[in-house]
């Protein structure tokens, strides 16, 4: 799966501009599904039909955090706002690439004190221009962090692991799928990083009986890091709670029992901040039971995010087993 993941993370696709990664996913999965379409917001929906079976919606978001230009001054320096959760601590000195191919570096108005983290408002992007007239970017242009894929053996590092690793899990699950207890809607969503917008409209249209999001989660295994139980290399995490949702206890039990029966390593996750597309599924129409399979990820929303390939592989195995295991819910097709 490394080559699959490498291709995905190196595509530039910030929120609202997901077409390039969507086109690549369509090319890969077209022979594997019974139906495929793109909705009005840009979500890619791929259906694996199963007669007289309940509908399950599986979702991973295609977009990544990015930057949008708001102003170019007379000297050609460009001011910007964030698309999604861009953290100032990761920005100064970082390199970016615009969708038109232009590259630049993020500077700051003056060198701050060592203990200060300047806000985004005091930063700018330098693309090597000497004036506004010769600056090759304009208001509204968008960029992502420029980072190549780094293979460290069992662990890999790149920008946009959030959530191209979830996309990779869905694609690989679809490739390996042989039988299913569900009619499956594989949804590759847009604009998650700016408010789970794509999954909101997709869930409304699909009307699933239950849903699972596949996304990253933070870890608590770095020196003096955030205190939480999730670690790299200990298996995919089954979410219990995050800031946006409480997972359905019946689905938690279903996932735990399935993992234990199949001897797939797993972790229990409580995330005190952030959320996923599962919130949008859960609140759709009159409500949908929803849960999350999380991929442990160090340095989430940094330009270099790290995952363990064994966790990724075990997420595929767990999702594949779940799709073969009837839901504990009383569902009607």
- In angstroms, the CA 219 to CA 271 distance is 9
CA-to-CA separations, 203 to 207, 211, 242, 271, 288, in angstroms, rounded: 6, 9, 19, 23, 9
In the residue annotation, 192 being an active-site residue is answered as yes
Q: What is the CA radius of gyration of the chain?
A: 20
For residue 277, what are its two tokens? 């597309």
Task: For residue 266, give Cα distances in angstroms to 193, 278, 295.
Answer: 26, 19, 10
- What residues have CB less than 8 Å from 249, skipping those under 6 apart? none
CA–CA dist 60, 16 (Å, integer): 15
Contact present, 300 and 219 (Cβ < 8 Å): no
Distance between CA 216 and CA 294 in Å, rounded?
Answer: 5
Strand partners, 294: 215, 237
Cα dihedral across residues 197, 198, 200, 201: positive or negative: positive
Q: Note whether 223 and 207 are within 8 A (CB).
A: no
Lookup: tokens for 125: 């992007």
Contact 213, 245 (CB under 8 A): no
DSSP count for the chain of H helices, then E strands = 7, 17
Catalytic residue among 18, 64, 183, 192: 192
Q: Judge residue 304's burial from the number of C-beta atoms within 10 Å of its C-beta, 0-12 exposed, 13-18 middle, 19 or more buried.
A: middle
Tokens 């989660």 appear where? 217
Using CB atoms within 10 Å of the CB of residue 100, give its burial: 0 to 12 exposed, 13 to 18 middle, 19+ buried: exposed
Catalytic residues: 192
């Amino acid at each position: 799966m490394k080559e699959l993941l490498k291709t995905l993370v190196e595509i530039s696709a910030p929120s609202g501009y997901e077409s390039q990664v969507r086109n690549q996913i369509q090319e890969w999965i077209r022979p594997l599904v019974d139906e495929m379409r793109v909705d009005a917001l840009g979500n890619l929906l791929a259906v694996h039909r199963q007669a007289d079976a309940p509908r399950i919606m599986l979702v991973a978001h295609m977009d990544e955090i990015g930057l949008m230009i708001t102003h170019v001054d007379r000297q050609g320096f460009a001011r910007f706002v964030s698309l999604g959760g861009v953290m100032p601590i990761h920005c100064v000195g970082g390199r970016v690439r615009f969708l038109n191919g232009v590259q630049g570096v993020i500077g700051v108005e003056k060198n701050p004190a060592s203990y200060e983290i300047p806000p985004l408002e005091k930063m700018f992007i330098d693309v090597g221009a000497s004036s506004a007239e010769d600056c090759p970017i304009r208001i509204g242009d968008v960029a992502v962090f420029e980072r190549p894929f780094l293979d460290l053996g069992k662990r890999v590092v790149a920008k946009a692991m959030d959530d191209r690793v979830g996309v990779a899990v869905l694609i690989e699950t679809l490739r390996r799928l042989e039988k299913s207890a569900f009619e499956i809607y594989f949804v590759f969503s847009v604009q998650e990083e700016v408010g789970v917008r794509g999954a909101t409209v997709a869930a409304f249209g699909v009307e699933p009986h239950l849903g699972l999001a596949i996304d990253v989660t933070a870890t608590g295994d770095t020196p003096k890091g955030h205190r939480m139980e999730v670690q790299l290399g200990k298996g995919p995490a089954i979410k219990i709670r995050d800031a946006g949702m409480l997972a359905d206890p019946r689905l938690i039990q279903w996932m735990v029992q399935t993992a234990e029966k199949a001897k797939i390593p797993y972790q229990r996750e409580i995330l005190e901040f952030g959320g996923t597309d599962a919130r949008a599924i859960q609140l759709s129409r009159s409500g949908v039971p929803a849960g999350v399979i999380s991929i442990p990820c160090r340095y989430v929303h940094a330009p270099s995010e790290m995952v363990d390939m064994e966790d990724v592989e075990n997420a595929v195995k767990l999702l594949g087993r779940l799709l073969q295991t009837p839901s504990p819910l009383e569902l009607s097709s």
